[in-house]
Amino acid sequence: MQKENWGTRLGFILAAAGSAIGLGTVWRLPYVAGEQGGGLFFFIFIALLLTVGTSLLLAEFVLGRSTKEGAIEAYRKVAPKGQWHWIGIIGMIAAFLLLSFYSVVGGWITTYFVRSFTGNVTSPPDGDHGALFESITSNPWEVGLAHLAFMIMTILVVQMGIKKGIEKASLYMMPALFIIFLILMVRSLTLDGAWEGVVYFLQPDFSAVSSETFLFALGQAFFSLSLGVSVMVTYSSYLDNKASLPGSAWSVVLLSVLIAFMAGLAIFPAIYAFGLQPDEGPSLIFVVIPAVFQQLAFGEAFFMIFMLLMLFATLTSAFSLIEIIVTPFVRGKEHLRKRVTWAVGLLIFAMGIPSNLSFGLLADFHIFGLTFFDAVDFLVSNILLPLGALLISLFVAYKMKPSIMQEELLRGSRFGKGFYFIWLIMIRVVVPLSIIVVFVSQLIQ
């Protein structure tokens, strides 16, 4: 049993939404949607989030709260015999690797945020935003320091614990994130020519949709909700027994949808209003967005708060990625939390160094044709996360006692048995089948 708990249900929801809303939502989703048919991709993504995504999120919640244990012990408690706890270990490895490169991007954001005070990010001396991005990411000292600074910020919060650290930070950062997005969205939508961007983002382009679109959308839905890593198992293990799990899951999903929507409406109209193109890919927010802000009145200030928003989004996801690794070590030994968090955080930082250097010194070092950064991303996003998601859904669906699942799922909620049965079909059949389809087709490619 763990002693610590979330102070309030709101705190839990904001922390879980904080984990969900991260680079995947505010950075990857807009450019992938841009490449995959705009509006239609977005609607497919939301449909999958509300069905398959929510079902798996509920499965992680049911497992976490019923066992009150983190990534390893939760599986052991339900199935003491066998090797099921490896699902948790895979999740911990995935979280370790994911944060190792996630924090590199966190470092870029930190650098851009700090540099925005001097004004030379939106207006680089030679006017070339792409060259500036390259010169920053290939400078090992600057990005190395920023990478370290990002990890230290993460560690400083998580070492304070669930309630005083993660919950408290989320209670400030998530509403701030929401307000900043609102400001940026209004600014973007009121620019001349903004409508074209809204159309691009929301009008379905059927010709750009293929079976691949569904695969991308499903992968993105799982990634966006932080599923398959046992992060949501861990977070819900700190939740008291009264809170409704379906209610909490809906809140997390709806917040994620809302923010994804706002991200699109903040980014695309502004890009179009200034005659730029959104098909820049991953560097969208570091190359195209600064160019947009350059043309805006008070652009530097808007850019600064945009980077602050990105920083909050990235940090709240990073908290969850460290916490899943810390929880099993400090279970029943909270006094070890500080030491364990520093050790884990610094190890993740060290693991991230080659990813960081793969934009400069190690650019020519390739594994299966990919840079170190891309190889780790591939291993995590295309192999470990889908594998984890598949195993978690099968484990909950077939290893947990139905009476416990039903009791845990419905307690404190307005739903009845019918809801439980629909959910059961989802996690027994629909979720595993969809993951297998995505998994196999990605490996074949």
Q: Which of 19, 159, 393, 406 binds ligand PFF (CB under 6 A)?
A: 19
CB of 186 to ligand PFF, least distance (A): 24
Strand intervals (E) in 136-262:
none
In the complex with ligand PFF, which residue's Cβ is closer, 24 or 30? 24
Cβ proximity to ligand PFF: between 54 and 317 the closer is: 317
Instruction: Report the residue from 55, 320, 327, 355 that binds ligand PFF according to the rule CB under 6 A.
Output: 320
Q: Does 20 bind ligand PFF (CB under 6 A)?
A: yes
Contacting ligand PFF within 193-232 (CB under 6 A):
223-224, 226, 229, 231
Find the shortest distance in angstroms from Cβ 213 to ligand PFF.
Answer: 19
CA angle 340, 345, 350 (to 5 degrees): 130
Cα angle at 310 between 255 and 144, to 5 degrees? 140
Residues 33 and 45 sit within 8 Å (Cβ to Cβ)? yes
CB of 103 to ligand PFF, least distance (A): 12
CB of 335 to ligand PFF, least distance (A): 26
Nearest distance from C-beta of residue 60 to ligand PFF, angstroms: 10
User: What's the closest the beta carbon of residue 231 comes to ligand PFF, in angstroms?
Assistant: 4
Closer residue to ligand PFF in complex, CB, 64/124:
64
Nearest by Cα to 305 from 180, 187, 186, 185: 180
User: In degrees, to the nearest 5, what angle opens at C-alpha 63 toward C-alphas 59 and 68?
Assistant: 150
C-alpha of 187 from chain center: 25
- Pull the structure tokens for residue 49: 């989030």
C-beta separation of 251 from 82 below 8 A: no
Task: State phi, psi for 204 to the nearest 5 degrees.
Answer: -65, 135
- CB closer to ligand PFF, 229 vs 405: 229
**Residue 74 vs 194, nearer CB to ligand PFF:** 74
Residue 132 or 322 having the CB closest to ligand PFF: 322
CA distance 219 to 208: 18
With binding defined as CB under 6 A, does residue 148 bind ligand PFF? no
For ligand PFF, the closer CB: 100 or 226: 226
Amino acid found at 158? V
Write down the least CB distance from residue 415 to ligand PFF, Å. Answer: 26
**Minimum gap (Å) between residue 320 Cβ and ligand PFF:** 5
Is residue 388 helix, strand or coil?
Answer: helix
- If binding is defined by CB under 6 A, does position 70 make contact with ligand PFF? no
Work out whether 25 is an interface residue with ligand PFF (CB under 6 A).
Answer: yes
What phi and psi values does residue 2 have, to the nearest 5 degrees?
Answer: -95, 150
Taking alpha carbons only, the member of 393, 392, 396, 381 closest to residue 438 is: 381
Host H or E run for residue 371: strand 370-371
71 lines the binding site for ligand PFF (CB under 6 A): no
Please name the helix (run of DSSP H) or strand (run of DSSP E) that holds residue 234, with its range, or none. helix 231-237
**Stretch binding ligand PFF (CB under 6 A), from 19-27, 51-59, 156-164, 420-428:** 19-27
> Contact positions toward ligand PFF, by CB under 6 A?
19-20, 22-25, 95, 223-224, 226, 229, 231, 317, 320-321
